[in-house]
């Protein structure tokens, strides 16, 4: 049975996943991401959590965060899940360093 999860809980899941990624990469470089399969797996998993939560957030809530690129977030999740062999670690690193802090700030400002 599928349970209903509110948008506020889904946004909290996104923030938790962003925080987890920040913890995972603390003191790390992109070279560490390439070299450490456990780190890659952990980061990719959290990105899928973010994408899955984003995919299930209502349009009403998405409209409250117009600068968030919801479709790109969801597309990233889809590539990681379905096109895993196509994942580019440089793009992942850019998402982690550039996009996730922006997303985190936007969600926290809304809350």
Is 1 a domain residue?
no
13 is a catalytic site residue: no
Is 38 a domain residue?
yes
pTM assigned to the model? 0.93
Beta carbons of 16 and 108 less than 8 angstroms apart: no
Beta carbons of 89 and 40 less than 8 angstroms apart: yes
- Number of structural domains found in the chain: 1
77 is a catalytic site residue: yes
Q: pLDDT band at 3, cuts 50/70/90? A: low
Domain, as residue range, for 75: 7-110
Is 16 a domain residue?
yes
Buried b (16+ CB within 10 A) or exposed e, 82-93: eeeeeeeeeebb
Q: List pLDDT tens digits, range 7-60.
A: 999 999 999 999 999 999 999 999 999 999 999 999 999 999 999 999 999 999
Is 76 a domain residue?
yes
Is 97 a domain residue?
yes
Catalytic residue among 10, 40, 82, 111: 82
Q: What are phi and psi of 4, to 5 degrees?
A: -85, 130
What CA–CA distance (Å, rounded) separates 87 from 67?
24
Catalytic residue among 10, 13, 44, 77: 77
Is 2 a domain residue?
no
């Amino acid at each position: 049975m599928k349970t209903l999860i509110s948008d506020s809980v889904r946004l909290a899941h996104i923030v938790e996943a962003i925080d987890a990624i920040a913890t995972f990469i603390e003191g790390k470089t992109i070279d560490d991401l390439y070299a450490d399969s456990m780190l890659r797996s952990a980061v990719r998993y959290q990105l899928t959590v973010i994408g899955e939560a984003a995919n299930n957030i209502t349009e009403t809530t998405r409209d409250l965060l117009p600068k968030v690129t919801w479709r790109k977030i969801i597309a990233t999740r889809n590539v990681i899940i379905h096109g895993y062999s196509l994942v580019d670690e440089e793009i992942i690193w850019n998402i982690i360093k550039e996009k996730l802090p922006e997303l985190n700030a936007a969600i926290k400002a809304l809350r």
